[in-house]
Structure 1
């Protein structure tokens, strides 16, 4: 039986953690001996292991994570673009499940987990390494979100996120550390989106590596369409209102999430609707509090953080459309979850979102950074004549491309290719 061990910093905390756990379950259903080991474990799932074998090691790991993130603030400008340094890490090569695995599958390994030094140690095991890139950090000098910066195509340096940016700044030093480590490793990259695949090809660190485009998956038996009226009533929403749903809405200053564009587009929509604006309601989930949120032009309901997937799926199913104004995203789960529940998506044409949203088919792809275009998308979905058709097309997109069985099969095909004598040569690129 094929043995795969997944390494991730956290268990289900964030999109990468959820993607790792969902892939693990999908592989288990296909009779693969698949296991997860995390740097820091939040949950109580006994099947997910951790390198912290006692409470003291767990507290120490938590301290190092917090300390590294606090120390980073001394070097970074006060912007909300995530950046990881490579000061701390841990060795994983002596763990029995890592030693016995046929495939080592890396996911998100920052926050003092696998820095370049400890990544390089994996070469001693002489095993194929698969690495799913959930953001850009693996092929940059530290940032997770690049926006328009192209320094990663050279050797970083002059990083706009650092206080003391220079040609030989911390971003270039990290780039050098990563480059030295990667030269020792047989890394096979999984890019969940076509956007990520193209980004990797342009990078100076990973451009010549084997790249396979395989999307993430989700639980299609949980995230599924429900009776719209009943779902609204279950969520405590007015069944006669047109519901726009959106995810975690931070302050206006958070550039990555595009909050200001959403606010501007909603203001414009209210002006255009006139008296009919009373028929619209905005629902926000994932907000940690209601003290640092913008003033929305429509009646707004804040649901807070939803940790129960069935309750979250009901919210998606209750909505008439999902709004995501993100300016850069790999393959955001909120989009996939919404479509799986039969709810169309309005988003900017950016990142991996076009891999999921087909314009005027299961949603609307707005012109990048255009509030007017985002408003046009909202008007399109409000006036769409056949809502049931739109719901069916949204669900079909997920079942055809992102269902568990399909995504698991693509990973298994890659694993088998890497564990047979006729494995593909390093440096090729293929869609699996």
Structure 2
């Protein structure tokens, strides 16, 4: 059984990580699994580059840049990612795809596979699997929906577009997707129950075969390490209560919920009578500190951390990981933190409840409630048996998201699809 995974980039973003991690997990189970990407920033022998050669590479880059330019023309200046599928690749005659048994699509935006390009894959007569890492596949362009439910009908009147009306750009994109995907038989993998339910609510794809299989990670890298040694390596005080969080671009950032974390820290310090000098917030993933808000506790910015070993050290150094995201499919930061034995406090939204068990391996706060987020911080702070909490965090990942377990679920799906294909 040979599987080929398609993703726009290699290892960039959550989808890029998920794609590579799944392929590696499948390989460990004896499956012939490979990854092909549309654009490769740096040489990587682990993946096939579909934009080989100087001319092809820069033509692809031009398509990606053009899409971003178009977004500025049509999309409001909001922190909501939106894709206009204007350019793409026809892979129906590509030898890599011809020589595989199953084609597994992941994140395919940024001038890779337009709806019409996905439809052309039918010509290869292969079972097609598509993992939805965000909502774009069934919306008129947006990747993050928040409270918008227009995708349940046919999009239009898009709150993200500058020119919004019933037949606006989002409606036209939605119609193109609906037409293209209507006759394509593919299986949707939803990494979270939230994503699976979202697809079932969509008019476009609710009739497709949908299965809930989570993403995975390497639990030999993301594992508990000595907290004392981890803090020494990062230069963090050994006796402080350390909160850690991921990329926080600004107070106005909607997706990551920065403002709620700030308010929660203020409430935590004020109402729970905590001495601020005993608390420190560590943030990784920030590109710079120019637009950073003022946090009410001492805050250290570690910058972008690309090495997974170093990232595991960061998680292990913390007492709690904060996930104030307002919408996330199955955020890797949460899974990685739990795998390293660090409990998580986050909102009850997206795929976070698939990973965090309330007051078992973390705390699920009421959605958009800074007060309850503060209560979660306080709950972890007051825990007398933190080692049990850390053990629960690690065990929850090993039981549900380990490479072996997730690979087995995919293998069962692949075998089913191949058997149905042969007998059809």
> Shorter-chain TM-score: what band?
over 0.9
The whole-number CA distance in structure 2 between the counterparts of 1:283 and 1:341 is 16
Counterpart residue number, 2:403? 404
Alpha-carbon distance change, 235 to 142 in structure 1, aligned in 2, over 3 angstroms? same
SS of residue paired to 1:40: coil
Matches of 1:394 and 1:196, distance apart in 2? 23
1:189 counterpart SS class? strand
Partner of 2:49: 50
How far does residue 184 in structure 1 lie from its aligned partner after superposition? Answer: 2.5
Residue 341 (structure 1) aligns with: 340
For the residues of structure 1 that align with 2:70 and 2:354, how far apart are their CA atoms? 37
Q: CA deviation at 1:345?
A: 0.2
Q: Who is 1:378 aligned against?
A: 377
Query: CA 1:275–1:378 in structure 2 vs 1: closer, same or farther (change >3 Å)?
Result: closer
Corresponding residue SS for 2:33: strand
Deviation of residue 424 (structure 1)?
11
Match of 1:430 in 2: none
User: Matches of 2:423 and 2:387 in 1, distance apart?
Assistant: 45
For 2:423 and 2:372, locate their aligned partners in 1 and report how far apart those are by CA, in whole Å. 44
Aligned to 1:215: 214
Other-structure match for 2:94: 95
Q: Distance in 1 between matches of 2:179 and 2:362?
A: 44
- Asked if 1:287 corresponds to 2:286, the answer is yes
* Contact preservation (8 Å) 1:77, 1:162: yes
| Contact kept in structure 2, 1:11 and 1:43, CA below 8 Å | no
Provide the C-alpha distance between the structure 2 equivalents of 1:251 and 1:267, rounded to a whole number of angstroms.
Answer: 17
Runs of 4+ in 1 over 6 A off after TM superposition: 422-425
Match of 1:205 in 2: 204
Deviations 1:52-98 (A, max 9, x none): 12122112211210111111111111111011111111111222111
1:422 CA displacement = 7.5
Instruction: Output aligned runs, 1:19-418, within 5 Å.
Output: 19-274=18-273, 276-418=275-417
Cα displacement (A) at 1:226? 1.0
Asked if the contact 1:325/1:347 (under 8 Å) is kept, the reply is yes
Q: SS where residue 237 of structure 2 aligns?
A: coil
Q: Is the 8 A contact 2:195 2:351 kept in 1?
A: yes
What count of residue pairs does the alignment treat as equivalent?
424
Point out where structure 1 has 5 or more consecutive residues left out of the alignment: 426-432
1:113-134 CA-to-partner distances (Å, cap 9, x unmatched) read 1001111110111111100000
Q: Normalization by structure 2: what TM-score?
A: 0.98
Distance apart, 1:43 and its partner CA? 3.1
Distance 2:16 2:420 in 1: 32
Contact 2:127 2:421 in 1 (8 A): no
2: CA distance, partners of 1:232 / 1:28? 34
Q: Give the conservation status (yes or no) of the 8 Å contact 1:417–1:424.
A: no
Any unmatched runs of 5+ in structure 2? none
Paired with 2:79 and 2:336, the residues of 1 have a C-alpha distance of 26
1:96-145 per-position Cα deviation (integer Å, ceiling 9, x unaligned): 11111111100000011100111111011111110000000001111101
For residue 72 of structure 1, give the secondary structure of its aligned residue in structure 2: helix
For residue 274 of structure 1, report the CA deviation from its aligned partner: 3.8
Instruction: Report the Cα distance in structure 1 between the residues aligned to 2:356 and 2:327, rounded to whole angstroms.
Output: 15
Aligned residue for 1:232, secondary structure, equals helix
- Identify the range of structure 1 (175-184 vs 374-383) with the bigger mean alpha-carbon deviation: 175-184
TM-score, structure 1 length as denominator? Answer: 0.96
Structure 1 residues 24-65: Cα deviation after superposition (integer angstroms, max 9, x where no partner):
000111111111110101232212011112122112211210
Q: Secondary structure at the match of 2:164?
A: coil
Between the aligned partners of 1:186 and 1:275, the Cα distance in structure 2 is 57
Deviations 1:322-368 (A, max 9, x none): 00110000000000000000000000000000000000000000000
Contact 2:70 2:84 (8 Å CA) reproduced? no
Change (3 A) 1:185 1:296: same
